[in-house]
Amino acid sequence: MAITVDARLLKDIKRHGAFDVSACFHCGNCTAVCPLSDEHGNFPRRIIRLGQIGDRERLLDSPEAWLCYYCGECSDTCPREAEPGEYMAAVRRYAIASAEPTGLARWAYGSTLGLLAITALFGAILGAFLVGVRPPSEVQHVLFRMVSYGAVHSVGIAVMVLTVLSMAVSVTRVLRRFLKGAGPQPIAAYARAARATLVELATMKRHRDETPTPNEPWYRNAASVHLAILWGFLGLLAATILDYIFIALLPLGITTFWPARIIGTISGVVMMAGVTAAIVRRLAKVEKNVARTDPMDWWLLWVLWILGITGFWLEVAVTLRASNALSVIVLLVHAALAMELILLTTFTKFAHVIYRPLALFAYFVRRGTAS
């Protein structure tokens, strides 16, 4: 099989954080010490080799980069200090930027200014769109004297449609790449892989097995923090859906659906605890895997933290029936940021909530085929 060599590949990956990988001389120590590497998911050495020889297609076809949770053991024990764990993180950033078709992800990952500009642009468009769909107000009067409501509405819809199409293209590309190596399988094999993937996502057993942190209490280790963010976010999503069904859709005439309120409050506390712990871990650089933080890492954590704080603000405001200008501004910030987080999923680090499950699914398909 012919291989097309991309001479710029390693340089591109280095721009995403893998500064020291050229020091690697392929002793194999990283793969030997990795608690998750096996015959069905062999890394980091294979992924390093693909980057060094410029085999871009096989690198992006490999789900292995997403099977790594960056425990840091490979980097701690590397005799050449080539930082294989950081290289795997850089490959994930490169893969996100490469899968997204518009080029915005490459801009966001390539420059802090680009990331902030994209955030501000999407925030302004979505904020203006949300102002337009609210009841008449002084803010609308001022805004629509400068720009017509029709223009704001059309631009908002266009941005959302184009972003969703970009997400669909990105996810389809990645799934096709990951499943390429396994070949066609019976439906039962896909069903078993899907079940194993869901169990892994719910428990993060591989993450917990990979990242034992004996010097940290359980509630501050990487896997527990990650689980808190995951389950807190999913709980908030469930509460939002329940609120919409029982308050907006069903003709029940209620203003508060208490089961959703309770689920949302508990989930918000859990998510905020996880996000705050993750921020503290990175500020304190408690382990190798948080010794270096990319601007995109900070972006995701602070977006989640701001969403949590503004969400609790709005809960208190609704409970106290405090309708004032500040609460309206907080609502706009919260709603625009939430929409932005979802719409920019495949443009940012948040893409891992899609790509890691797809990689796990491909891994379990491959493992089931070999067994």
Tell me, yes or no, whether 242 lies in a domain: yes
Tell me, yes or no, whether 148 lies in a domain: no
Please report the DSSP string for 27-69 in residue order. --HHHHH-SS-BTTB--SHHHHHHHHHT-HHHHHH-THHHH--
Mean pLDDT of the region 117-133: 85
Classify residue 139 as exposed, middle or buried by CB count within 10 Å of its CB (0-12, 13-18, 19+). Answer: middle
State whether 207 and 343 are in the same domain.
Answer: yes
Tell me, yes or no, whether 289 lies in a domain: yes
pLDDT above 70 covers a percentage of the chain that reads 90
pLDDT at 10 over 50: yes
The answer to whether residues 227 and 274 touch, using CB atoms and an 8 Å cutoff, is yes
Tell me, yes or no, whether 166 lies in a domain: no
Mean pLDDT of the region 202-229: 80
State whether 82 and 186 are in the same domain.
Answer: no
State whether 292 and 186 are in the same domain.
Answer: yes
Average pLDDT along the chain: 87
Q: Which of 60, 83, 99 is the last residue before a domain boundary?
A: 99
pLDDT at 131 over 80: no
Residue 96, CA distances (Å) to 59, 99, 181, 229, 361 in order: 13, 5, 20, 21, 18
Grade residue 144 by pLDDT with cuts at 50, 70 and 90: very low
pLDDT above 90 covers a percentage of the chain that reads 57
Q: Which of 99, 132, 159 is the last residue before a domain boundary?
A: 99
Question: pLDDT per residue over 50-107, tens digit each?
Answer: 999 999 999 999 999 999 999 888 999 999 999 999 999 999 999 999 999 999 999 9
Tell me, yes or no, whether 145 lies in a domain: no
* pLDDT score recorded for residue 22: 86
What pTM did the predictor assign? 0.90
State whether 231 and 91 are in the same domain.
Answer: no
State whether 198 and 64 are in the same domain.
Answer: no
* pLDDT score recorded for residue 327: 84
Tell me, yes or no, whether 39 lies in a domain: yes
State whether 243 and 362 are in the same domain.
Answer: yes
* pLDDT score recorded for residue 195: 96
Q: Which of 79, 99, 119 is the last residue before a domain boundary?
A: 99
CA distance 368 to 192: 8
Structure tokens at 348: 């940012």
Mean pLDDT of the region 117-125: 92
CATH code where residue 51 lies: 1.10.1060.10
Tell me, yes or no, whether 169 lies in a domain: no
Grade residue 213 by pLDDT with cuts at 50, 70 and 90: low
Question: pLDDT per residue over 284-309, tens digit each?
Answer: 998 888 989 999 999 999 999 999 99
Tell me, yes or no, whether 155 lies in a domain: no
State whether 86 and 222 are in the same domain.
Answer: no
Number of folded domains that form the chain = 2
CA distance 108 to 94: 11
State whether 198 and 85 are in the same domain.
Answer: no
State whether 230 and 93 are in the same domain.
Answer: no
* pLDDT score recorded for residue 145: 53
State whether 197 and 299 are in the same domain.
Answer: yes
CA distance 86 to 293: 10
* pLDDT score recorded for residue 99: 94
State whether 204 and 352 are in the same domain.
Answer: yes
Structure tokens at 13: 């990956």
Domain of residue 298, residue span: 182-370
What residues have CB less than 8 Å from 24, skipping those under 6 apart?
A: 48, 52, 78, 80, 82, 84
CA distance 192 to 188: 6
Torsion angle defined by CA atoms of residues 10, 12, 17 and 19, in that order, rounded to the nearest 10 degrees: 40
State whether 194 and 317 are in the same domain.
Answer: yes
